[in-house]
Amino acid sequence: MYKIDLQGNKLEKLQERSFADHGFKEKKNLQEWIDKEPTVFGEELLIIQKEFSGFSNTPERLDLLALDKQGSLVIIENKLDDSGRDVTWQALKYASYCSSLSKENIRKVFQDYLDTKNFEEKAKEKLAEFLEEKDYEKLDLNKGVTQRIILVAAKFRREVTSTVLWLLNFKIQLQCFRMIPHSIGEEHFLKVEQIIPIQDAEEYMINMAEKAQDDITSQAERQRKKITESATKKEFWGKLIDQMNKKSTLYKNISPSIFSWIGTSSGFPGVGLNFSADRSCARAELYIDRGKANRGKANRGKRATEESKFIFDQLYKQKERIDEKFKDLLTWERLDEGRACRIKTEIPGDVLEKEQWDKMQAFMVKNMLLLEKVMKKPLMEIKKKLKAREHGTEEGSG
């Protein structure tokens, strides 16, 4: 590595050093760096625990446990200047232990991590936000044999890289990253590079390639299926939006999505009028989440939760009148364990089955128009109450 000296128009070579030369430690330094900046691996990861020891009948601890954008667990094992001989076996053990973690186990582990950091955040909300899903209950975490392993060291022994390359042919997701400290004067730098595959293993990989072709084909088929499903969902939402636009301007500025829901504002910040459609149902809902409306405010998490529940409770006082308009087809979900609340109406349906679209979309459009009409006046009144409540609180605190 070189530092560019613009003033002198020259390169200054950075001195490659060992972690030991700098006095850097595995837990105190390397582990903390990754914890604070997991994008160092070139992707978005959510660290959910450090020094995880939640294994039955063993005192062993893995360095870092994370989730990737597919909801798969990522086991991160750190070594300093040398990978050692047994790091692969160690990481495989940890992956096998983690394979049994349920969705609730993961939530508890992550909540412990957040509490240790003194973050005023709920694990459910953070997990849903990271995985870009509105509803935590729909999240799929740690499904099947999807666990991944990331090994970190300044130098990897050949027995380690050989084992890793062999394991890759059996759908075990393994990556090796070299992290090498450099310095120039009092400045320190860290070079990060993924070394699997490595150049001197090229011949070995070619020899193994034929054995992996079936796996590659299967992976390509899954990717094609995912693309097809995304296109189908986008087509579904496009037709639904067209139907809505014939009767209302509510969804005029909304574009089709490849996800399981689309939404628009009710005119009340943090209160959305959302459609949802997946493999099980079609839904129109009022979704109450004051999280974004409280950004930048003190105790925003607690405040957002209190406001969301306040809006729901005020609407619930009118439940009998509102239910009558919907012929008792509404479901009221206060969702006490989370920040948000929901009032919904739904029917069974499969968004990927086009022959069901007419029935699903007719139901969704009809009930969304009714939902907007019925909720408009109560929401305006609640909005005034919330403002008066905030104003009173601020005056009282002065």
Best-predicted range by mean pLDDT (170-174, 207-211, 262-266): 262-266
Instruction: Check residues 299 and 201 and name the one with the higher pLDDT.
Output: 299
Q: What is the mean pLDDT of residues 371-380?
A: 95
The pTM assigned to this predicted structure is: 0.52
Could you read off the pLDDT of 27-62 as tens digits, one per residue? Answer: 999 999 999 999 999 889 999 999 998 777 778 889
Higher-confidence residue: 307 or 389? 307
Output the pLDDT for position 219.
74
Res. 328 pLDDT band, cuts 50 70 90: confident
The highest-level CATH class for domain 2-196 is alpha beta
Q: How sure is the predictor about 2, in pLDDT bands with cuts at 50, 70 and 90?
A: confident
What pLDDT is stored for residue 207 in this prediction?
Answer: 57
Q: What is the pLDDT of residue 198?
A: 59
- As a whole-number percent, the residues of the chain with pLDDT over 90 amount to 64
In sequence order, which residues have a C-beta less than 8 Å from that of residue 43 and are 6 or more positions away?
A: 68, 69
d(CA 301, CA 280): 31
- Average pLDDT over the chain, rounded to whole? 89
Instruction: Determine the average pLDDT of the residues in 293-310.
Output: 85
Query: At a CB cut-off of 8 Å and minimum separation 6, what does 193 contact?
Result: 177, 178
Q: Which residue has the higher pLDDT, 327 or 391?
A: 327
Q: Which residues contact 228 (CB under 8 A, 6 or more apart)?
A: none
Residue predicted with more confidence, 205 or 318: 318
Q: What does the pLDDT read at residue 395?
A: 42
- pLDDT category at 201 given cuts 50, 70, 90 is low
Residue 184 — pLDDT band, cuts 50, 70, 90? Answer: confident
**How many percent of the chain have pLDDT more than 70?**
93
Q: Which residues contact 241 (CB under 8 A, 6 or more apart)?
A: 251, 254, 255, 256, 262
DSSP calls for 286-318:
EEE--TGGGTTSTTHHHHHHHHHHHHHHHHHTT
Domain ranges, ordered by start, for the chain: 2-196, 229-397
pLDDT at res. 293:
76
Residue scoring higher pLDDT (174 or 57): 174
Residue 264 in this model has a pLDDT that exceeds 90: yes
How large is the C-alpha radius of gyration of the chain? Answer: 26
Q: What is the pLDDT of residue 365?
A: 97
**pLDDT of 109-125, one tens digit each?**
999 999 998 888 899 99
Say how many residues make up the chain.
398
Range from 80-84, 283-287, 324-328, 387-391 carrying the lowest mean pLDDT:
387-391
Q: What share of the chain is helix, strand, coil (3-state, %, to 5)?
A: 45, 20, 30
Whole-number pLDDT of residue 268: 93
C-alpha distance from residue 200 to each of 65, 185, 339 (Å): 30, 34, 53
Q: 316: Cβ–Cβ under 8 A, 6 or more apart, which residues?
A: 332, 334
pLDDT value of position 168: 82
According to DSSP, the residues that pair with 300 across neighbouring strands are none
Q: Give the model's pLDDT for residue 213.
A: 57
